[in-house]
């Protein structure tokens, strides 16, 4: 969740910078808005949980901090991040 929130902040900052530079007609603005929408917080958590479940996580494991997981489970968390981002792009 934290990574998704950070990505939304980064994308919003990128949009703000373009607008501040007077680049209102840049076609990338629409792309940035679509990416932000793909991280819809009302559904992101459930989609992330479904993805983690698919990688073998139990509900109890999902509640743990990454630092408290073993190396193998940390690797699955690392794999989940790009999968979740790709899933957001596909769904968006």
Mind listing the pLDDT tens digit of every residue in the chain (92 residues)?
A: 677 778 888 888 988 888 888 877 888 888 888 877 777 767 777 888 888 899 999 999 988 988 999 999 999 988 887 887 676 555 55
Q: How confident is the model at residue 76, as a pLDDT?
A: 92
Q: How confident is the model at residue 68, as a pLDDT?
A: 93
Number of Cβ within 10 Å of residue 57's Cβ equals 19
- Give 64's contacts (C-beta < 8 A, 6+ positions apart): none
Per-residue burial over 59-80, b if 16 or more Cβ lie within 10 Å, else e, is eebeeeeeeeeeeebeebbeeb
- Helices and strands, number each (H, E), in the chain: 5, 0
Tell me, yes or no, if the pTM score tops 0.75.
no
Which helix (H) or strand (E) segment holds residue 53: the answer is: helix 41-54
Q: How confident is the model at residue 30, as a pLDDT?
A: 83
């Amino acid at each position: 969740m934290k990574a998704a929130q950070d990505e939304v902040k980064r994308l919003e900052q990128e949009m703000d910078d373009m607008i501040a530079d007077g680049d209102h007609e840049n076609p990338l603005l629409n792309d940035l808005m679509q990416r932000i929408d793909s991280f819809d917080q009302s559904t992101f958590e459930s989609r992330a949980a479904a993805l983690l479940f698919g990688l073998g996580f139990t509900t109890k494991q999902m509640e743990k901090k990454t630092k408290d997981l073993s190396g193998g489970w940390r690797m699955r968390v690392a794999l989940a991040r790009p999968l979740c981002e790709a899933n957001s792009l596909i769904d968006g």
